[in-house]
Chain A
Amino acid sequence: MEQNTTHAVDYPGVQQSEKFTRLRRRHRSFVVPVSIAFLAWYFLYVLLGAYAHDLMAQPVLGNINVGVVLGLGQFVTTFAITMAYVSYANRRLDPLAAELRDDLEQIEAQAAADSTAGSARTTTGTTGTAAGSAGAAGTETAEGRESQ
C-alpha cells in the first residue's frame, strides 16, 4: 500500500508518546461512554414502543402522550449530544491533534532535507506518497483551469 512505504516517522513511538496517549484518552473518554448512553436510551425507547403500549398512550398535555414526549426527547438528546461533541472536539481534541500534526510534519520535513543533502535520492518516499499523489493531481489541473 502506498501509505505504508518508507517512514521517517517512528509511528509505534508516537503511539506510545505522552501527547498521543493523552489525545487518545480524551477522544475515547468522550466517544465511548456517550455512544453507549445514546444507544441504551434509544433501545429503551424502542423497547417501550414495542412492548409498553399502555404507558406510551398515557396523556401528558391535551392529546400529547408519553410516547410523543419520549420520541421528541430522542430528538432533543441527539441535538444536545451533537452540540456537546462539537464543543468538546473544538476545545479538547483539535488543538492537541494540530500540535501532533505539526510535530509529525516537522520530523518528515527534517528527514526529507537530510536525505537530499546526503545523496541524490528522491524525496518522494519520505514526504508520504499519499499526500504526494493528491498534490501532483492538483498541479496537473491547476494549470489548465479556466474559470470557476
Chain B
Amino acid sequence: MNQLDVLSQPGAAENNPVLNISIFLAFVIVTLVIVFRASRNNRSAADYYAAGRSFTGPQNGFAISGDYLSAASFLGIVGAIAVNGYDGFLYSIGFLVAWLVALLLVAELMRNTGKFTMADVLAFRLKQRPVRLAAATTTLAVCFFYLLAQMAGAGGLVSLLIGIDSELGQSLVVAVVGAVMIVYVLVGGMKGTTWVQIIKAILLISGVAAMTLWVLALYGFNFSAVLGDAVARSVSDPPEAILAPGLQYGAMPIDFISLALALVLGTAELPHVLMRFYTVPTAKEARRSVVWAIWLIGIFYLFTLVLGYGAAALVGSDTISAAPGGVNSAAPLLALELGGPLLLGFISAVAFATILAVVAGLTITAAASFAHDIYSNVVKKGKSDPDAEVKIARRTVIFIGIASIIGGIGVQGQNIAFLVALAFAVAASANLPTILYSLFWSRFSTRGAVWSMYGGLGTAVVLIALSPVVSGNETAMLGAAVDFAIFPLKNPGIISIPVGFLLGWLGSVTSPVKEDPRIAAEMEVRSLTGHGAEKAVEH
C-alpha cells in the first residue's frame, strides 16, 4: 500500500480530513471553555501578563514545554532524523542542553529582579528609556521572526494534514488559526494561554509516548533492531550513512557549529520563555519549573529519536521525502502506518494545537513588551495607570494577531524556515550578553547594554540578509535570479554572538557615565536572596 497516494488524495479512505478536523475542533472547544473560565480573575496587569504569578512549578514546567515544543521540533525533528538520520538527532540535542543555561544562570535571578518583561531586569539599574526601548526592539524582533515562521508552517501543515491544497483554503485556515489565537490571548491573558500550553504539552507528549512504545513493541523493545531496519530501507549511499553524522551538515560543518551555538545559548533568552518565569510565585518555583521542563523536553527528544528512525524503518525515507510536506510528513505517516486514521487524526490535531499554543505564547509576550516597556515606560514615562496599560496590551494583541494572519498568508509557499534559527541567533546575540552582564558584572553600563542589544540584533539580521538563505540559489527565499549572498553561512551566531558580548564590554568600559553602585549592590542582593521580589496576587 503506497502511503503517498493516501495522503495526496484528500478523499481517500485512510486519511480522513473530517476526522482530523473534528478532533482539532474538540481541542479548540475544550480549551476555549477553560480559557473563558480562567479569565474571570483577570483584573490587574499582574493577572493579565503573569497569570497572577499563581502557577506551580510543575504546571509551569508543562507550560514551558508546551510553549517550547513547536511544530518545528515535533514534525521537523522526527522528519530530519527519518530522512537525514543522525544529523537530525545532533540538531535536537542543542534544544535540550540549552535548558541548563536557563536553570543555572537565568531563571531564578530573572524571577527575583524582574516583573513582567526582560527589560524590567535591565532597567533595574540602568537608564530606563534607552534600555527598555532596546530590549523591546529585540523582543519584538524575535517574536516577529518566530511568529511568521509558525504561521507559514501552519499553511504547509494544512495541505499535509487536512488535504487542502488550494491557496484560498490554506489562507482561510491560517486566518482561523490566527482568530482562535486572538481569542485565547485577548480573553484568557497569560492564565488562559498557560492552560492552552499545559493541555497541548500533555496531549503532545502522551501522543508521542504512545507512538514510541508502539514502534519499540514492534521490534521487541530492541532499539538496535529499529536502527537495523532503518538501514535496510535507507536510500542513502552507503545505507549505514544514516547512523552517522554528515548527511545534512557534512558539506558545511562550520555552519552547523554556528547553529549549535545559537541553539544552546539562545533558548533561555527567547522572550516567550523568559516571560514564563514570572508566572510562578517565587524563584524556587521558577527553578522547579525549569527542572520539570528539562525532564519533559528531554524525554520528548528521546522519543523523537525512536520515532525518526522508526519512520525510516516502517515508512521509508524515500516515501517521506516524496510525500506532500516532505520531511514534515514523517510523523503523520508513521502515525497512519501504526494506528490508522484515528491515530493520524490525533497527531494532526496535536500538531495544530502546537502551532496555536506557540503563537499564543509569542503574542502575549510581544503585547506585554509593547504595552509595558514602550507605551507605559517610554511613551508615558512610567506615569500611565495599569488599566490603561492592559488596555493597550489587549489592542496590541489584536494588531499582532491580524498582522500575523496577513504575514502568514503573504509568505505561503516561501521558504522561510530560516526565521526560526534567526530568532535563536538574535536571542543569543542581543539578549544573552545583556542579561548575563547585568546580573554578573557590576560595571555594566547603559551604553554597553544598548550597544550590545542593537549590535547583536543588527549583526544577526544583516548577516542573514547577506546569506545563502535569502538569495543566490534555487532554495533561497528570493531564488537564484538575485545574488547578494556574500556571507557563506546560513547561521550568523558564530559571528553575531561574540559581537554582542564584545559591544557590551566595549560600551561599558568607554561609557563616560558610571552607573550608581548602590543600585548595582541592591540588584545583586535581591537577585540572590529574592528579597523584595514580586509576590503572587492573592485571589
Are B100 and A82 interface neighbours, CB within 8 A? yes
Are A137 and B227 interface neighbours, CB within 8 A? no
| A130-148 interface code vs B (CB 8 A; 1 in, 0 out) | 1100110111111011111
Known contacts A35-B104, A86-B291, A131-B532; A137/B250 CB under 8 A: no
Are B244 and A78 interface neighbours, CB within 8 A? no
| A101 partner, pick from B128, B301, B519, B530, beta carbons under 8 A | B530
Q: Which residues of A contact B96 (CB under 8 A)?
A: 74-75, 78
Q: Which residues of A contact B94 (CB under 8 A)?
A: 42, 46
| B466-478 interface code vs A (CB 8 A; 1 in, 0 out) | 0000000000000
CB of B181 to closest CB in A, whole Å: 25
Q: Is B233 an interface residue (CB 8 A)?
A: no
Are A53 and B250 interface neighbours, CB within 8 A? yes
Known contacts A11-B521, A64-B224, A74-B93; A27/B40 CB under 8 A: no
State how many residues of chain A have any CB contact under 8 Å with chain B. 72
- Which one of B42-50, B168-176, B336-344, B360-368 is at the interface? B42-50
Are A42 and B264 interface neighbours, CB within 8 A? yes
The DSSP consensus for interface residues of chain A is helix
Q: Is A115 an interface residue (CB 8 A)?
A: no
User: Which of A60-114 touch B at CB < 8 Å?
Assistant: 61-65, 67-68, 71-72, 74-75, 78-79, 81-82, 85-86, 89, 94, 97, 100-101, 104-105
| B40 partner, pick from A24, A94, A142, A146, beta carbons under 8 A | A146
Are B90 and A63 interface neighbours, CB within 8 A? no
Q: Is B538 an interface residue (CB 8 A)?
A: yes
Known contacts A38-B100, A39-B264, A78-B99; A140/B228 CB under 8 A: no
Are B264 and A50 interface neighbours, CB within 8 A? no
CB of A75 to closest CB in B, whole Å: 6
Considering the complex, give the chain B residue whose CB is closest to the CB of A65. B243
Are A86 and B287 interface neighbours, CB within 8 A? yes
Q: Which residues of B contact A49 (CB under 8 A)?
A: 86-87, 90, 245, 249, 256
A43 to B534, CA, bound (A): 37
A61 to B536, CA, bound (A): 52
A141 to B45, CA, bound (A): 11
Are B104 and A34 interface neighbours, CB within 8 A? yes
Considering the complex, give the chain A residue whose CB is closest to the CB of B290. A82
Q: Is B302 an interface residue (CB 8 A)?
A: yes
A83 to B90, CA, bound (A): 23
A139 to B44, CA, bound (A): 11
Are A63 and B294 interface neighbours, CB within 8 A? no
Known contacts A4-B519, A43-B260; A50/B249 CB under 8 A: yes
Considering the complex, give the chain B residue whose CB is closest to the CB of A34. B104
CB of A44 to closest CB in B, whole Å: 11
Are A46 and B537 interface neighbours, CB within 8 A? no
Are B525 and A11 interface neighbours, CB within 8 A? yes
Are B528 and A11 interface neighbours, CB within 8 A? no
Beyond A47-B257, A75-B298, A141-B41, 15 additional contacts (C-beta under 8 Å) are A14-B525, A42-B260, A46-B256, A50-B253, A53-B244, A62-B227, A64-B224, A67-B90, A68-B243, A75-B96, A97-B530, A104-B531, A104-B532, A141-B537, A146-B40
CB pairs A–B below 8 angstroms (19 shown): A2-B382, A27-B528, A35-B105, A53-B250, A56-B244, A62-B224, A65-B244, A75-B302, A78-B97, A78-B99, A79-B298, A82-B100, A100-B531, A101-B531, A104-B529, A104-B532, A137-B386, A138-B538, A142-B538
